[in-house]
């Protein structure tokens, strides 16, 4: 039987999870995800895969879509107040999050809940929840301490987040809660709330934060260093090939549950790309994506590792379009007039194909995930932060 604590950073309180697993009953394993962006990326799957391991051993998985807490904003790991999505965005994202999570979880054996079911409280119930803690306790979290020390404001709304997430554990009677290491304060706080409501407190298990394709910062769509689980096979493989060699061991350990194979890093990277693409697009999709990569990068001399660039700032006035001169100008530090001359002269390529001399705008979907080339040796991988 696989070790359910493999790769975990925190398993708290010490010895409690082992006691729970020795009991002759399925445990209720909770994971909460706030739908603040449109898609799940590989960073999210580190915890989702751990949730799936519990599920495969017969435990009950409770996936909470935080459609209410997304309106508050999780301050975990933030140096400033998180911009909040609109109600329409939250609803759309909630639907896609749920569907994408089933790429890793068994749909028939997953209990999916939205925390708006119980967090739309009557005033007396809300006041009762607020009475369960103190401001001093909430301000213990490192994120708040750093911000206050730097003179960066903390919104009163953010103080509510641990209380609301903690009440999620009460509502679903969680035995165990999973999360990333940045969620440790929230997960422990959930234990306090359960005790306040007369429940046996959950144990917690935290997983490492996957570094993004830049090898420096955590994977995030807003930073453009992410690999989405719904990315096209060719885009997914290409992004994985851009990972710095020093990050490969972490990707193998957290995404594949194995050690990086011996041998050239480039071959290990290709194997990783094939296996991840196969996981999300079906057997054989990885080999097809690798063939596309070879045609584009190897046969045409494009480097394996190229920087990413957001197309959204170059959006045109017509909905759904991107202005190429502005995109090229900002991405390659050129003036718009220089960019136009390059287009007219056939010096701009998109995925290896020359952009026509009269094409000054293209649909967003024709650009996201593509490689933009100017001249012989200047390249950018395009992504759309607004998608």
Inter-residue contact 31 to 64 (CB < 8 Å): yes
pLDDT computed for residue 54 by the predictor: 96
To which H or E segment does residue 289 belong?
Answer: helix 285-293
End-to-end CA distance of the chain: 41
pLDDT computed for residue 337 by the predictor: 84
pLDDT computed for residue 24 by the predictor: 84
Domains along the sequence of the chain with CATH:
10-207 (3.40.50.620), 221-298 (1.10.240.10), 308-383 (3.10.290.10)
Cβ-Cβ contacts under 8 Å for 112 (sequence gap 6 or more): 63, 65, 98
Query: Is residue 167 exposed (0-12), middle (13-18) or buried (19+ Cβ within 10 Å)?
Result: buried
pLDDT computed for residue 209 by the predictor: 94
Number of Cα atoms under 13 Å in the Cβ half of residue 320: 3
Which residue shows structure tokens 């005033």? Answer: 123
pTM of the full predicted structure? 0.75
State the maximum Cα–Cα separation within the chain, in Å, rounded to a whole number: 73
What are residue 113's DSSP bridge partners? Answer: 64
Tens digit of each residue's pLDDT, the chain (387 residues): 568 999 999 999 999 999 999 998 999 999 999 888 778 899 999 999 999 999 999 999 999 999 999 888 766 655 555 567 788 888 888 888 888 899 899 998 999 999 999 999 999 999 999 999 888 888 888 888 888 888 888 888 888 899 999 999 999 999 999 999 999 999 999 999 999 999 999 999 999 999 999 888 899 877 778 899 988 898 899 889 989 999 999 999 999 989 999 989 999 999 999 999 999 999 999 999 998 888 777 666 666 667 888 888 888 888 888 999 999 998 888 888 888 888 988 889 888 888 988 888 898 888 888 889 888 778 888 888 776
- What is the Cα–Cα distance from 200 to 197, expressed in whole angstroms? 9
Q: Over the Cα atoms of the chain, what is R_g? A: 23
Encoding tokens for residue 188?
A: 């422990």
pLDDT computed for residue 285 by the predictor: 95
């Amino acid at each position: 039987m696989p070790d359910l604590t493999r790769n975990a950073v925190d398993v708290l309180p010490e010895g409690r999870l082992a006691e729970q697993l020795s009991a002759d009953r399925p445990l209720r394993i909770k994971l909460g995800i706030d739908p603040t962006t449109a898609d799940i990326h590989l960073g999210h799957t580190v915890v989702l895969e751990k949730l799936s391991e519990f599920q495969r051993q017969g435990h009950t998985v409770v996936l909470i879509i935080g459609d209410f807490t997304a309106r508050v904003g999780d301050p975990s790991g933030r140096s400033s107040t998180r911009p909040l999505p609109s109600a329409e965005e939250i609803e759309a994202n909630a639907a896609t999050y749920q569907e994408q999570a089933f790429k890793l979880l068994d749909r028939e054996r997953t209990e999916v809940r939205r925390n708006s079911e119980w967090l739309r409280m009557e005033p007396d119930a809300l006041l009762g929840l607020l009475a369960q803690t103190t401001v001093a306790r909430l301000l213990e979290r490192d994120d708040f301490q750093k911000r206050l020390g730097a003179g960066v404001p903390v919104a009163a709304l953010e103080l509510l987040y641990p209380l609301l997430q903690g009440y999620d554990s009460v509502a679903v009677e969680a035995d165990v809660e999973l999360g990333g290491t940045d969620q440790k304060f929230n997960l422990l706080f959930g234990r306090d709330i359960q005790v306040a409501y007369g429940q046996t407190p959950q144990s917690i298990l935290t997983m490492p934060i996957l570094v993004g394709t830049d090898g420096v910062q955590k994977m995030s769509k807003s930073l453009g260093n992410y690999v989405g689980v719904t990315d096209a096979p060719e885009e997914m493989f290409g992004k994985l090939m851009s990972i710095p060699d020093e990050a490969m061991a972490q990707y193998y350990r957290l995404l594949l549950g194995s050690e990086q194979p011996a041998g050239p890093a480039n071959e290990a990277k290709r194997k990783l790309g094939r296996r991840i693409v196969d996981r999300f697009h079906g057997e054989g999709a990885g080999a097809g994506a690798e063939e596309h990569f070879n045609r584009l990068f190897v046969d045409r001399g494009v480097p394996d590792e190229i920087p990413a660039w957001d197309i959204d700032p170059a959006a045109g006035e017509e909905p759904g379009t991107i202005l190429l001169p502005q995109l090229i100008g900002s991405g390659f530090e050129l003036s718009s007039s220089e960019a136009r001359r390059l287009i007219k002269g056939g010096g701009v390529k998109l995925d290896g194909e020359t952009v026509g001399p009269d094409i000054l705008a293209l649909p967003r979907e024709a650009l996201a995930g593509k490689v933009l080339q100017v001249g012989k040796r200047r390249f950018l991988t395009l992504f759309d932060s607004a998608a």
